[in-house]
């Protein structure tokens, strides 16, 4: 069953599950106008057919982690894909900070949650040394972009609600979600709170009762702590399987702003002009850089969106250079790290 085969109720259910991930089934059903029993049945079926899966994302700012880093590279085709993927996996085992990574035969992207700049320097040196040893890197090498939490607007972090809204033709009010808050303060957790926090991150699909049995903490305690953590120390989301939705391409764009472009309104206006013609699922806006991940149905949709983007480049005139763009075909895309947050949380908690 693909998007073209989804009924109206199935589209509304999937959209509701993504947009209102913190609400219960009854509340979401009311929001999207689907009968509760119908909604629940569709939800179970869509999950079984792998249309989505739940994830809990940590806000590591509260544990003194200073930034997100986005790393990308273009490769020479000197090594079969499977051999290079095994090489990448070995590297990333050393770095639990890598929470998401994808690759094709000629390029790759990864996202890290990191404590400081020292990590990024060591990470870059390691991967450049290992990849260069195997003759995989060209002149461009590896690029890492640092986004300090306190200086960054993370407007979308794997938020698929606007994409589905456009894709399904739903006339529902759009709502931007943010990944954490720049004003979050350092938090010290008790041993029980650490156990619950780690359990929530590791097992996003378990009910409170099931999690209680697994981590040996009472269900009421888990429910109380989870309620306190949600939106402050973690966020519960659902990730869409874009291939099931008939998307063929995933495009990564790295924008660099000219020195001195400090006016936030100008930057936001420029970014808004982008999102009027395309729907990023990842949108991170820093002081000097911006990165996006944008799914497209096909190459025609991509070229039309890019022609509009070029007009905006010229209109605003705030970019330092032509954007770096990586095009991935879902038929060739390999996920190396699929929203794996447990490892970095374990390190952050010292457990």
DSSP state, residue 179: S
What pLDDT was estimated at residue 169? 85
The CATH number assigned to the domain with range 62-156+243-337 reads 3.30.70.100
The model's pTM is 0.89
Residues 107, 71: contact at Cβ < 8 Å?
no
Q: Measure the CA–CA gap between 114 and 343, rounded to whole angstroms.
A: 12
Model pLDDT, residue 233? 93
**Whole-number pLDDT of residue 112:** 94
pLDDT at site 299 = 93
Q: Give the tens place of pLDDT for each residue, 7-26.
A: 999 999 999 999 999 899 99
d(C-alpha 345, C-alpha 99), whole Å: 10
DSSP string, 271-292: HHHHHTT---SEEEE-SSEEEE
Could you give phi then psi for residue 166, rounded to 5 degrees? -70, -45
180-204: b or e for each residue (b if 16 or more CB lie within 10 Å)? beeeeeeeebeeebbbbbbbbbbbb
Name the strand (E) or helix (H) holding 201: helix 191-202
Residues of the chain with pLDDT under 70: 1-4, 78, 172-185, 261-265
User: Percentage of the chain with pLDDT > 70?
Assistant: 92
């Amino acid at each position: 069953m693909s998007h073209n085969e989804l009924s109206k109720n199935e589209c509304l259910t999937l959209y509701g599950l993504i947009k209102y991930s913190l609400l219960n089934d009854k509340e979401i059903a009311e929001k999207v106008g689907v009968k509760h029993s119908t909604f629940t049945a569709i939800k179970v079926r869509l999950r079984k057919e792998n249309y989505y899966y739940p994830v809990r994302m940590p806000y590591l700012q509260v544990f003194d982690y200073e930034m997100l880093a986005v790393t990308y590279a273009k490769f020479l085709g000197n090594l079969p894909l499977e051999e290079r993927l095994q090489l990448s996996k070995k590297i990333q085992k050393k770095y639990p900070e890598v929470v998401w990574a994808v690759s094709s035969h000629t390029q790759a992207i990864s996202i890290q949650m990191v404590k400081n700049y020292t990590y990024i320097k060591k990470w870059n040196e390691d991967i450049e040394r290992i990849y260069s040893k195997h003759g995989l890197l060209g002149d461009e090498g590896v690029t890492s972009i640092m986004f300090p939490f306190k200086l960054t607007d993370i407007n979308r972090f794997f938020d698929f609600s606007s994409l589905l809204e456009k894709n399904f033709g739903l006339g529902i009010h759009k709502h931007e979600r943010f990944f954490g808050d720049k004003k979050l303060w350092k938090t010290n957790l008790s041993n029980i709170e650490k156990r619950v926090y780690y359990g929530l991150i590791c097992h996003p699909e378990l009910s409170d009762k099931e999690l209680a049995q697994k981590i040996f903490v009472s269900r009421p305690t888990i429910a109380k702590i989870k309620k306190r953590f949600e939106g402050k120390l973690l966020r519960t989301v659902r990730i869409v399987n874009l291939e099931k939705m008939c998307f063929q391409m995933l495009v990564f764009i790295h924008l660099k702003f000219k020195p001195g472009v400090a006016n936030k309104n100008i930057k936001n206006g420029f970014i808004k002009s982008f999102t009027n013609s395309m729907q990023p699922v990842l949108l991170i806006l820093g002081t000097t850089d911006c990165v996006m991940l944008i799914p497209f149905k096909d190459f025609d949709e991509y070229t039309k969106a890019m022609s509009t983007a070029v007009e905006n480049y010229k209109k605003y005139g705030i970019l330092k250079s032509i954007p770096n763009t990586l095009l991935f075909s879902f038929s060739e895309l390999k996920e190396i790290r699929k929203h794996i947050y447990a490892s970095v949380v374990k390190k952050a908690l010292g457990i």
